[in-house]
Homo-oligomer: A and B are copies of this chain.
């Protein structure tokens, strides 16, 4: 992978407004995109996030109305809903310690200090701050996902504009202890998506970087 190509990929990327419903990603591609989210960095590695892949066509139709009528929700090849834990529980932290113990072959007892640090710094926050903290982790995953899509020449559209409560209702997220944070349709643009032709607008380097 050359240096140039990842930057070129990021220049090529844009928030796709019109997906071609006939062009589908294959299973390996979808699997790789989910893997990119799963491999995302999170604070403490705690991963209080999950990916929901919505395959049910009827539900995708229903979600259009919960997404300010944005057609990408049903037209894109696949629909990813990036979620966080609805409520961050001690069991989640314990599960993480178990995973570390198993993956690295270290004794659970040796992880007590780490567990306590996480519990003291995160679980003692008030609920609103915990939620904000978890939300932010999902935004890291979004950046990782969008960049991975671009590297794989897959189109995507990051969306904050949807009704999380309606998503919860349609997808039954509360029962899964999840809350929808970001929605990302992925697939292929149609040839005539006018937005694809718009030049990318960014602050100039001079205005964007401060050297100290």
Q: Taking the nearest CB of chain B, how far is it from the CB of A170, in angstroms?
A: 9
Q: Which residues between 1 and 54 of chain A lie within 8 Å of chain B, taking CB atoms?
A: 1-3, 5-7, 9-11, 13, 15, 28-29, 32, 34-41, 43, 45, 47, 50-54
Contact B202 A39 (CB under 8 A): yes
Question: Which of B5, B28, B172 is within 8 Å of A3, CB to CB?
Answer: B28
Which residues of B lie under 8 Å from residue A36 when comparing CB positions? 6-7, 10, 147
Please report the C-alpha to C-alpha distance between residue A36 and residue B5 in the assembled complex, in whole angstroms: 12
Q: A153: nearest residue on chain B (CB-CB)?
A: B1
Please report the C-alpha to C-alpha distance between residue A152 and residue B35 in the assembled complex, in whole angstroms: 19
Q: Taking the nearest CB of chain B, how far is it from the CB of A206, in angstroms?
A: 11
Which residues of B lie under 8 Å from residue A205 when comparing CB positions? 34, 38
Which 10 pairs from chain A and chain B are nearest by CB?
A: A143-B143, A139-B139, A147-B147, A143-B144, A6-B151, A140-B143, A10-B39, A136-B139, A52-B210, A103-B201
Q: How many copies does the complex hold?
A: 2
Which residues of B lie under 8 Å from residue A7 when comparing CB positions? 32, 35-36, 39, 148
Contact B11 A39 (CB under 8 A): yes
Contact A53 B210 (CB under 8 A): yes
| Residue-wise interface mask of A (115-146) relative to B, using a CB-CB cutoff of 8 A (1 in contact, 0 not) | 00000000000000000100111011111111
Which residues of B lie under 8 Å from residue A38 when comparing CB positions? 202-203, 205, 208-209
Please report the C-alpha to C-alpha distance between residue A180 and residue B203 in the assembled complex, in whole angstroms: 18
Q: A197: nearest residue on chain B (CB-CB)?
A: B104
Please report the C-alpha to C-alpha distance between residue A171 and residue B36 in the assembled complex, in whole angstroms: 34
Contact B1 A5 (CB under 8 A): yes
Which residues of B lie under 8 Å from residue A99 when comparing CB positions? 201-203
**Known A1-B151, A39-B10: A50·B104 in contact at CB below 8 Å:** no
Contact B1 A9 (CB under 8 A): yes
